Structure 1
Amino acid sequence: MPLSLRGTPPASSPAALLELLARAGAEPTVVEATATWLMRRGSEHTRTAYAKDASWWLAWCAAAGTDPSAARPVNADQYDVALRESGLAKSTRARRLAAASSWYDYLVRAEAADRNPFLGMDRPSVSADDSPTRGMTPAELAKFLSYARSRESARTYALLVLLATTAARIGSVLDALVGSIGSDQGHRVIDLTTKGDHKKRFVLVPLAVESVEAYLAARGQAGADEYLFATRTGRPMDEPAAFRTVRRVAKAAGIPHAGQLSPHSLRHSYATALLSGGVPLADVQDAMGHADPRTTRRYDRAAGALHRSPSYKMQEEITKAMDALPTA
């Protein structure tokens, strides 16, 4: 029976990936280099994401009888074929291949491997002009949050409001500490770690402030160095739990496509609503933390719509200028 490359990853954490390597008989130098590679990935959630993606390659190698330390480019290509035949999205395939390639790059640099079998391979091209993520309209988002406010815990409501009003990535929010919340120039703010291990200050609008303050009041005494969205054990809520929460609340709230939503859908909804509402692209790009405006444009579902043609504005300018001409 062929290995399934969908569902729960073979390793769910950096520690689990290292255990997977040790059980497979990897050399100590490989295990040590892998641990260092993971530590260099940035935040805990980023390290976990890399560990999960890399573990699929190790699982495939075990099922195919391929020694990862001796893998050849043909094996990497066979793995890509297996990912495609599993029906995975191009973005998921590209991410898993990139993780495996990054791992080998570091092993080669650490002199724990001779080559990177993924080097130079053709990877799935992911369009910069389209986003497959499903979002919610403002009306659906209002229904979603209203249900959470009246029927869910204070923690769940605060989490969903924070995601919906900041467009922050779920990993950044789950990494936040209670002490990350503060004030700046009369605004309530929260400092989050973003892609590339950078710090970014996000505005907390009154709706978010109210929901977070209500949650912290219900939670009780919490130190500044404690995770904002902590579990009973004090550990941060994990991304799979947040994923399940979004779908569960959406389904209960009667959102039609609840089964296709994720925490990223709230980020998607933020961008789509603002771009459709006429907020300048540059402002939305800054809020989303996109380096390339084309990435932000993917969320503009009305891009190219005839009613938004700048030709109408051009007509206004021409007509205004013509009307200002002196009469003959």
Structure 2
Amino acid sequence: MPPLDAQRVHLELYARHLEDVRGNCAATVHGKLSTLCGFYRIAQADGYVVKDPTVFLRMPKVTYDETRALGLDRFQLGKLLQVASASSPSDGALFALMGLLGLRVTEACNVQIQDFQDEVRGHRVLRLTGKGNKDATMPLPEPVLRALLTAAGDRTTSPVVLTKSGKTQNRRGAYGRCKILVKRAGLPAGTHPHTMRHAAITAALDAEAPLRDAQIFARHSDPRITTRYDRGRQNLDRHAAHLVSAYIAGGTGPA
């Protein structure tokens, strides 16, 4: 059947096929259906279909485990940064960008030496274009600036993070370096570059940065995304279950 001839019932059958036959998880099904929703919205706007068949399409509910966003704690992150700095100047710069500035791995790999030469109101800053082609200006704390200058050396242009052969580091190579250095630091094997971004955002909240400031640091467009890190950070410590148990225990005195 041509996609433009599909009706809602056909898309419902497709969704149930993904769930029941292929065994896809709710997040996978939701992602595939969301793509279809975007396709048919554009098709309707451009006049290819009269009615959008996804308007009342049943979308699976996707739950989010907030504790998975915590990343490394401050001591683990500090250990990894030390190991990276001792490994090579490029590794030190790459991991400082991810672990102290919260940059995504591709953003960190794309940083050019000329991107951190400016000063704004007395602060040395890094200018970058991040996710969604959004420009950002971030102040450079002394440890990050020192790592960047060490990696740059005498160079005045070109990417700051290079491979051992002198080529531009990329996402795949960064994952490989992370795997090696994580093992060297004795950290959990599942740690990857984005774990460091998680750790940086969580560290900002642990350091009592206001949620709005943490959102700006993380460059999240929606504050609810940053809130996930806050809830995941403290929801087990301040969960009402502790209060209930203590309250009931206080009322169970001698008969």
Q: CA deviation at 1:154?
A: 1.8
Indicate conservation of the 8 Å contact 1:129/1:297, yes or no. no
For 1:61, the equivalent position in structure 2 comes to none
Distance 1:211 1:76, change over 3 A: farther
Give yes or no for contact 1:84–1:93 (8 Å, CA) kept in 2.
no
Relative to 1, partners in 2 of residues 1:191 and 1:302: Cα closer, same or farther, differing over 3 Å?
A: same
- Counting only pairs closer than 5 Å after superposition, residues 276-315 of structure 1 correspond to structure 2 as 276-300=206-230, 301-303=233-235, 305-306=237-238
Q: Partner residue of 2:71?
A: 135
Q: Is residue 184 of structure 1 aligned with residue 115 of structure 2?
A: no
Query: Which of 141, 147, 167 lines up with 2:83 in the alignment?
Result: 147
Match of 1:167 in 2: 102
Structure 1 position 258 matched with structure 2 position 198: no
1:221 alignment counterpart: 155
- Contact kept, 8 Å, 1:129 with 1:294, in 2: the verdict is no
RMSD: 3.6
CA distance in structure 2 between the partners assigned to 1:278 and 1:99 by the alignment: 38
Task: Tell me which residue corresponds to 2:138.
Answer: 202
Q: Tell whether the 8 Å contact from 1:97 to 1:123 is kept in structure 2 after alignment.
A: yes
| 3-state SS in 2 of match to 1:295 | helix
Partners of 1:108 and 1:247 in 2: how far apart? 46
CA distance in 1, matches of 2:152, 2:174: 18
If the length of structure 2 is used for normalisation, what is the TM-score? 0.72
State the Cα deviation string for residues 224-250 of structure 1 (Å, max 9, x = none).
xx4443566865613x33233323311
Aligned to 1:267: 197
C-alpha distance after superposition, 1:230-281 (max 9, x if no partner) = 566865613x3323332331122101x232x222211211222222232222
SS of the residue 2:132 aligns to: helix
Cα offset, 1:296, TM superposition: 1.4
Map Cα deviations across residues 8-45 of structure 1 (whole Å, 9 max, x no partner).
Answer: xxxxxxxxxxxxxxxxxxxxxxxxxxxxxxxxxxxxxx
Choose 178-187 or 106-115, whichever is displaced more.
Answer: 106-115
Note if contact 2:69-2:229 (Cα within 8 Å) is conserved in structure 1.
no
Give the secondary structure class of the aligned counterpart of 1:85: coil
Check 1:254–1:176 CA distance in 2 against 1; reply closer, same or farther (3 A cut). same
Q: TM-score, normalised by structure 1?
A: 0.58
Q: Hey, what's the Cα distance between the residues in 2 that align with 1:299 and 1:267?
A: 11
The 5 A counterparts of 1:1-328 are 72-74=10-12, 76-77=14-15, 80-81=18-19, 85-86=23-24, 90=27, 94-99=30-35, 101-102=37-38, 105-106=41-42, 120-127=56-63, 130=66, 132-133=68-69, 135-150=71-86, 152-182=87-117, 183-217=119-153, 221=155, 223=157, 226-229=158-161, 237-238=170-171, 240-255=172-187, 257-259=188-190, 261-300=191-230, 301-303=233-235, 305-306=237-238
Contact 1:190 1:202 in 2 (8 A): yes
State how many pairs are aligned.
Answer: 232
Question: Residue deviations 1:179-235, cap 9 Å, x none?
Answer: 221321221111122333221111111111111111111xx5353xx4443566865
* Distance in 2 separating the partners of 1:109 and 1:229: 44
CA distance in 2, matches of 1:116, 1:165: 45
Contact 1:75–1:117 (Cα < 8 Å) also in 2: no
Q: Which runs of 5 or more residues in structure 1 are unaligned?
A: 1-65, 308-328
Return the letter of the residue paired with 1:77.
Answer: A
C-alpha separation in 2, matches of 1:258 and 1:108: 47
State the identity %: 25
